Amino acid sequence: MSELEQIPFGASEFAENPEPRCPCLLLLDTSASMAGPPIDELNRGLAAFKQELVADTLAMKRVELGVVTFGPVHLLTDFQTPDHFMPPNLASAGDTPMGAAIAGGLEMIRQRKQAYKTNGISYYRPWVFLITDGAPTDGWEAAAEMVKQGEAEKHFSFFAVGVDGADMDVLGKISVRAPLKLSGLRFSDLFAWLSASLSNVSRSQMGQAVQLLPPGWAEV
Amino acid sequence: MIGPSVLSSVVDARGRPLRLGRKLGQGGEGSVYELPAETDAVAKIYHQPLSKLRTEKLHAMVGMRTEQIDRLTAWPLEVLSLSTGVPIGVKMPRVVGHKDIHQLYSPKSRRTEFRRADWRFLVRVATNLARAFATVHESSTVIADVNHGGVLVGQDARVRLIDCDSFQVFDGAKNHLCEVGVPTFTPPELQGLLFANIVRTENHDNFGLAILIFLILFMGRHPFAGRYLGPGEMPIERAVRECRFAYGAARAEARMEQPPGTPALEVVSEPVALLFERAFARQGISGSRPTAREWIGALEALEGNLKQCADSPAHWHLSGLPDCPWCRMEAATGVALFSLAISPGAAGYFDVETFWQQVTALEHPGPVPALDEAVANARVRPSEDVLVFKQQYWFHGPLALFCGAATLALALFVDLPLPGRLFFFVSAFVLYFLVRRNLRMKEDISIFIERERRLRAQWDAVRAEWDAKAGVGAFDAKLGELNQLRTQWTALPEFREQRLRDLEASKSERQLNRFLDSFRIQPGEVGGVGTSRKSVLESFGIETAADVDEAKLYRVPGVSAKLRRGLIGWRRSIEGRFRFDPDLDSTPPDKETVEQEVLVERLKLEAAIRKGFTDLQQLQKQTLFARTSLKSKVEETHRAFQQCAADLKAVRR
């Protein structure tokens, strides 16, 4: 039982819950332009998101949420299961440093995967969800390159969602997948879809492509 | 798809209409409905009418039913059709009060969903599972799609196999195949294959059975999820395919290590350990994996050879081990493996000192890193803007110089008396500086002032943000908070002692109170108190001598000074009869209240410590994250500000 002697930091969360993990990273735009109804709807959507994930016993043990907000870049929560996730009350301020947020977020994913490996926890391909209503105000080209490379090496799946006013062209250059346009302020629908999709993923087999539900919240 | 109108025309095997009730759930294949007429059965209605093959299979299954099968599985009871005769569903037993097996084997959900489950219970569930597998196998059936969603467990440790319509059934003439499978339960020889045309065997099932038993006995850990020491990724499927059992004797050759903080294979008896080795070894592919019957015997023997841990009644483990593996695991991880409900009064698994090792192991983010020194100290050259500006006002310098020089020439070259020379000499310098200053006043440097002001404000804001987010203020504050909680936790025994001392100190008072409380205010006993006055007093909470109190009486309307005196006198007279008995111990209920209070306090502190540690981890991540994500912005802003400051200085020169 020599393995019991050395416990790397963070092992306890995996000891009590050794289920495979399905990390989901939210990169949320909280720049000044999101002020008013958009940020309120986003907050409401996040609160409902937690409720829906917690209602699913398997998703509650497998899905892990990490949230990075930008405007300015801030790590709101590192990856944790939905029961620990506290829906935030986001306020809008500042510019749109999207590039820095993406770079920081992808590094978080890399570290999290390392923690899974160290603790012998298997995991699904992480999901990154970028939600913005503007255009980057910092250098995003390097971040776009990281996204491209990560997608090619299947390190994560990157989705970009543009709220009204978003620069869809730049989003198209950052994301390998075609960016989706949120119709109106249907954040609640978006998060309901995301939680249902994550529930599906957490029930699926690792390494298999998951059939995504049709995103009813997106403009066609 | 089947529409609602169709649902009203479902008939049972004998052609009688079957009324469907509430929808209980929906899956990929069909939906399950309540049957109002039967409490112990449900109807599964498929989204599509059943194929001929599928119908044959279900009919075959209905024909194979035995009492034992019915007890251990949710076996199809009869085939349901539409009134047109098209087969559309199946009637199955309703399994009530059972939960998914993953709720049992993960410690976190076990604590809340299976509050009675200790390791004995887990061994029993594993044995019952083997019994269910054996029963199915002995009726020429293979479960085929073994997975964590196919087994339900009751609070009495009995299991039921569900999703039986996907089993592979042999009807005496042919095999009805199963087309699906879950990779983490699929044996190496079938990994990556399409199941559509593969005849599954008991030996395949036995691999899945061993995986499930391992999950149950080893705290939800998958036997092939380990630390891979080689290069590249090692997902479970690959580890299974390559037979890399992370807990096995051959794990070193497989370059695997079991995950940290997990129990070693030795926590199960040697025979059970050997069964695992056989089930997961490459040799098992040829058909030698332990059968369900073999598991039953070995697990029964294991259950008979368990003992309770001396320190924690919630822990049962194999006797003969040097120490309790669950104590070690709980101490090492700070996680309760079993519900606390099964160890009432136990000290609990939480030990602040052990937990604290995790806190100290969490790396302090360290002081705020200094911003790039080179940038901070660099001499910044004025920018292009300054050169343009200087060009615009290029003549100012020479003009002032000319005025000064001309006057100086007067002083030097015109023949003047000494005071005159001196006057012009001084005037030359004064003139130069006056002209220079006047001209400079005319220069429009407001744009540089404005720019410098704006950048300074930006820099101040960014620096404040940097200090707040990249600094350790929040982290240190949280750590201080945690330290305080730890001190409080450590002081709990003293807290308890103090409460008990308080109890002892107030003994006489409490005895008196109890004594007074035994005298109810009766009409007629105290002058002026009749039945109606008694009920008025009662409505103000004054019922016994213990309640009689000057302040309280003032609040009751209609109580005269005389009556008040009467009541207080009555109380005094009773007090006079009271004799304190120091030998009478504090009553058990009082002591229990203290113990309860201490327990609640302890649980609150433990929860706060856990929560605080989670917060601390988040803060550490947030700080480190901010240091990398904000750095370039901070440095850019600083550089821009320094440039403006240098520019302003240059145009002012």
DSSP A131-200: EESS--SS--HHHHHHHHHHHHTTS-EEEEEE-TT--HHHHHHH-SSPPEEBPTT-HHHHHHHHHHHHHH
For residue A102, the Cα-to-chain-centroid distance in whole angstroms is 11
Domain that holds residue B628: 361-393+443-653
Q: How far is A167 from chain B (nearest CA, A)?
A: 22
Taking contacts as CB-CB distances below 8 angstroms, the residues of chain B near A74 are: 469, 622, 626
Residue A3 has pLDDT above 70, yes or no: no
CA proximity to B176, closest of B188, B164, B190, B194: B164
Residue A2 has pLDDT above 60, yes or no: no
Indicate the pLDDT class of residue A208, thresholds 50, 70 and 90: low
**Given this model, what pLDDT does residue A207 score?**
59
d(CA B327, CA A4): 11
Question: B424 and B529 share a domain?
Answer: no
Most confident residue range from B275-279, B380-384, B568-572:
B275-279
Per-residue pLDDT of B545-561, as tens digits, reads: 888 888 888 887 878 88
- Chains A and B: how many Cβ contacts under 8 Å? 158
Q: Give chain B's mean pLDDT.
A: 86
- Judge if the upstream peptide bond of residue A72 is cis by omega within 30 degrees of 0: yes
CB within 8 Å: A14 and B259: yes
Residue B433 has pLDDT above 60, yes or no: yes
Indicate the pLDDT class of residue B192, thresholds 50, 70 and 90: confident
Most confident residue range from B277-291, B365-379, B516-530:
B277-291
Interface test with B, best of A5, A21, A75, A200 (most B CBs within 10 A): A75
Residue A66 has pLDDT above 90, yes or no: yes
**Given this model, what pLDDT does residue B3 score?**
62
Residue B596 has pLDDT above 90, yes or no: no
- Higher local confidence (pLDDT), B294 or B48: B294
A206: nearest CB among B236, B469, B629: B236
CB within 8 Å: A12 and B261: yes
Break chain A into its structural domains and give their ranges. 26-203
Give ipTM to 2 decimals: 0.73
| CATH value at residue B206 | 1.10.510.10
DSSP class of residue B372? -
Minimum CA–CA partner of A103 in chain B: B629
Question: B45 and B157 share a domain?
Answer: no
Indicate the pLDDT class of residue A10, thresholds 50, 70 and 90: low
Indicate the pLDDT class of residue A5, thresholds 50, 70 and 90: very low
CB within 8 Å: B237 and A117: no
Low-confidence winner among B321-330, B359-368, B528-537 (lowest mean pLDDT): B528-537
User: Of B308, B342, B376, which residue constitutes the final position of a domain?
Assistant: B342
Segment B139-150 shows an average pLDDT of 91
Assess contact for B257 and B246: CB atoms under 8 A: yes
Q: Residue B108 corresponds to which tokens in the numbers above?
A: 């976190």
d(CA B444, CA B389): 9
CB within 8 Å: A100 and B260: no
Q: Per-residue b/e over B493-505, b at no fewer than 16 CB within 10 Å?
A: eebbeebbeebee
CB within 8 Å: B633 and A100: yes
Question: B402 and B468 share a domain?
Answer: no
CB within 8 Å: A7 and B333: yes
User: Of B73, B94, B115, which residue constitutes the final position of a domain?
Assistant: B94
The answer to the question of residue B348 being in a domain is no
Question: B580 and B451 share a domain?
Answer: yes
Q: How far is B490 from chain A (nearest CA, A)?
A: 22
B109: nearest CB among A3, A15, A57: A57
**Given this model, what pLDDT does residue B344 score?**
43
User: Of B439, B467, B494, which residue constitutes the final position of a domain?
Assistant: B439
Assess contact for B191 and B241: CB atoms under 8 A: yes
d(CA B374, CA B455): 20
Q: Residue B513 corresponds to which tokens in the numbers above?
A: 């109170």
**Given this model, what pLDDT does residue B248 score?**
94
The answer to the question of residue B319 being in a domain is yes
**Given this model, what pLDDT does residue A7 score?**
45
Q: Per-residue b/e over A161-172, b at no fewer than 16 CB within 10 Å?
A: bbbeebbeebbe
Indicate the pLDDT class of residue A160, thresholds 50, 70 and 90: very high
Q: Is B38 exposed, middle or buried (CB count within 10 Å of its CB: 0-12, 13-18, 19+)?
A: middle
Question: B133 and B263 share a domain?
Answer: yes
**Given this model, what pLDDT does residue A190 score?**
87
d(CA B448, CA B387): 13
Indicate the pLDDT class of residue B375, thresholds 50, 70 and 90: low
Question: B138 and B73 share a domain?
Answer: no
Question: B561 and B641 share a domain?
Answer: yes
Segment B502-519 shows an average pLDDT of 84
Question: B186 and B302 share a domain?
Answer: yes
Of all residues in chain B, what percent carry a pLDDT higher than 90? 32
Residue B122 has pLDDT above 90, yes or no: yes
Taking contacts as CB-CB distances below 8 angstroms, the residues of chain B near A101 are: 629
Residue B413 has pLDDT above 90, yes or no: no
d(CA B389, CA B149): 77
B621: nearest CB among A20, A78, A203: A78
CA proximity to A106, closest of A30, A171, A178, A27: A27
B264: nearest CB among A1, A10, A207: A1
B361: nearest CB among A9, A14, A117: A9
CA proximity to B112, closest of B125, B124, B121, B103: B103
Return the amino acid letter for A203. Answer: R
Q: Which residues pair with A218 in a beta bridge?
A: A182
Question: B100 and B178 share a domain?
Answer: yes
The answer to the question of residue B580 being in a domain is yes
Return the amino acid letter for A125. Answer: R
**Given this model, what pLDDT does residue A4 score?**
35
Q: Give chain A's mean pLDDT.
A: 85
Return the amino acid letter for B39. Answer: T
**Given this model, what pLDDT does residue B28 score?**
67
Assess contact for B327 and B336: CB atoms under 8 A: no
Q: State the helix-helix crossing angle for B492-505 and B473-490, rounded to 10 degrees.
A: 50
CB within 8 Å: B260 and A119: yes
Question: B386 and B411 share a domain?
Answer: no
CA proximity to A177, closest of A194, A193, A158: A158
Taking contacts as CB-CB distances below 8 angstroms, the residues of chain A near B633 are: 72, 97, 100, 138
**Given this model, what pLDDT does residue B412 score?**
82
Question: B207 and B324 share a domain?
Answer: yes
Indicate the pLDDT class of residue B586, thresholds 50, 70 and 90: low
Segment B609-638 shows an average pLDDT of 88
Question: B292 and B263 share a domain?
Answer: yes
Q: Which CATH superfamily is domain A26-203 in?
A: von Willebrand factor, type A domain (3.40.50.410)
Per-residue pLDDT of A147-159, as tens digits, reads: 999 999 889 999 9
B227: nearest CB among A15, A78, A117: A117
Query: Into how many domains does chain B fold?
Result: 4
Taking contacts as CB-CB distances below 8 angstroms, the residues of chain A near B236 are: 20, 122, 206
The answer to the question of residue B347 being in a domain is no
Q: What angle do CA B169, B172, B176 make, to 5 degrees?
A: 30
